[in-house]
Amino acid sequence: MPISLIINNKAITAPEGATILEAAHSAGIDIPTLCHHPDLGDVGACRMCVVSVQGARALQTACTAPAAEGMVVDTMSAEAVESRRFVLEMLLTDHPNDCMGCEVAGDCDLQDLVYDYQVEWPEHNGDRHQYEINPDPNPFILIDRNKCILCSRCIRACSEIQNRDVWSFAYRGFKSKLVAGADQMLIEAGCETCGQCVAYCPVGALQDKMSLGLGRANQVKKVRTTCSYCGVGCQFDLNVRNNKIVRVTSSEDAPVNGMALCVKGRYGYDYVHHPDRLTRPLVRAKWLGLEAVAEEVNGGRWSVVSEAQQRLVGHGHQPTSGNGTQHATRNTQHVVSSDTYIETDWDTALDVVANKFTEEKKAHGGDAFALLASAKCTNEENFIFNKFTRQMLATHSIDHCARL
């Protein structure tokens, strides 16, 4: 049954059981938070959401205090504002003053609140934490405990969403710090490197290693896409700068997965710009005819990939071209054997494949084929691939690498 209350002199209604924070947000009233996230259970740790409630002896944390019938709330009372400013000042006394060079500048909740409440960086001569930066050898998650505000959002994300319970707090008082497992390395603590903790971190304590130095939030363009690694249909945003994907970020409004992604969805995007990725087809000379090869290569339309270059494919010893690691040579000085790779155009390559498929199907039937779909393709492309396999080639011998 709905309840009625007053927040900032505005009469509103809220569902029974809602917190003050939820009631305020439903009415478009903003209350600042650091430890709160709508996906996670509330713990009232940061004390940024404190509000004045008429009749209460002290400030109440809006994220945990239930809204009640007839309650009168002031979210911007002098007492509440002063308390928030004090919390921010205390956080800054033990926080690195490096916003100019910080990776998450412009996408930091603490930075935004310090700006909104006009808190100056306090002079402080007391103890400060000097943790080692990036102490964990894992390839995906950078840890900087000097920037940690002990909000526990990463802990709750790992526990409540991923069900891994990797992160926790250790020690007490000033020595309290974020640890993996029993103060172990992430891999030893059972981490799946899904990056969920990074996605929920409101500051720069946890960062994506693969995107360091490649672009801040205000320097990238976000493009929504669907993950192609499996059939779940998770969506995320490609962060693009200078026509290159520099990071993958999850979004609360993704209909299937919300903020959740697996390690492949969040970090498996580097193949897109990998120098070994082929962008033009390679066809063995025997399928094209040596006379046709000589004519097209001399005309500059096709290129010969030498045996030496073929051996170096994937080893990074050749300068990159539009076709990956090797520069195909546009002449016939190399000896062209029947197995020499020729860089052709797509129409020629597809014609070769179609003709060979037709010959094999006529000679041996559909059971002559077995096909493997790719997680590097979109779901739509894999659906077409499946339809082509079953209807055109007449075989059910199809598998997908994500299932293995």
Task: Evaluate whether residue 358 is within a structural domain.
Answer: no
- pTM of the predicted model as reported, rounded to 2 decimal places: 0.81
**Bridge partner list, 158:** none
Residue 66 phi/psi, 5-degree rounding, is -75, 140
Q: What is the largest CA-CA distance in the chain?
A: 94
Q: What is the mean pLDDT of the chain?
A: 90
Whether residue 113 is found in the same domain as residue 207: yes
Residue range 331-351, pLDDT digits in tens: 445 578 888 999 999 999 999
Which three-class secondary structure state does DSSP give residue 256? coil
Task: Evaluate whether residue 103 is within a structural domain.
Answer: no
Domain count, the chain: 5
Residue range 193-228, pLDDT digits in tens: 999 999 999 999 999 999 999 999 999 999 999 987
Q: Comparing C-alpha atoms, which of 358, 362, 387, 359 is closest to residue 373?
A: 387
Task: Evaluate whether residue 95 is within a structural domain.
Answer: no
Task: Evaluate whether residue 173 is within a structural domain.
Answer: yes
What residue numbers bound the domain in which 80 lies?
3-90
Q: Which of 142-151, 294-303, 375-384 has the lowest mean pLDDT?
A: 375-384
Residue range 229-269, pLDDT digits in tens: 877 889 999 999 999 999 999 999 999 999 999 999 999 99
Is the confidence at residue 82, as pLDDT, over 80?
A: yes
Residue range 355-368, pLDDT digits in tens: 999 999 999 999 99
- Angle, helix 109-116 to helix 78-92, in steps of 10 degrees: 130
Whether residue 221 is found in the same domain as residue 206: no
Q: What local confidence, expressed as pLDDT, does residue 382 receive?
A: 87
Q: What is the DSSP string of 275-299?
A: TT--SS-EEEGGGT-HHHHHHHHHT
Mean pLDDT to the nearest integer, 63-86: 97
Whether residue 265 is found in the same domain as residue 280: no
Whether residue 121 is found in the same domain as residue 188: yes
Q: What local confidence, expressed as pLDDT, does residue 336 receive?
A: 84
Task: Evaluate whether residue 38 is within a structural domain.
Answer: yes
Which three-class secondary structure state does DSSP give residue 22? helix
Task: Evaluate whether residue 73 is within a structural domain.
Answer: yes
Whether residue 369 is found in the same domain as residue 336: no
Task: Evaluate whether residue 359 is within a structural domain.
Answer: no
Rounded to whole angstroms, the Cα distance separating 222 from 51 reads 35
Residue range 165-203, pLDDT digits in tens: 999 999 999 999 999 999 999 999 999 999 999 999 999
Whether residue 246 is found in the same domain as residue 340: no
Q: Which residues of 299-335 are buried (b: 16+ CB within 10 A; e: fewer)?
A: eeebbbbbeebeeebeeeebeeeebbbbbbeeeeeee
Whether residue 264 is found in the same domain as residue 282: no
Q: What local confidence, expressed as pLDDT, does residue 305 receive?
A: 85
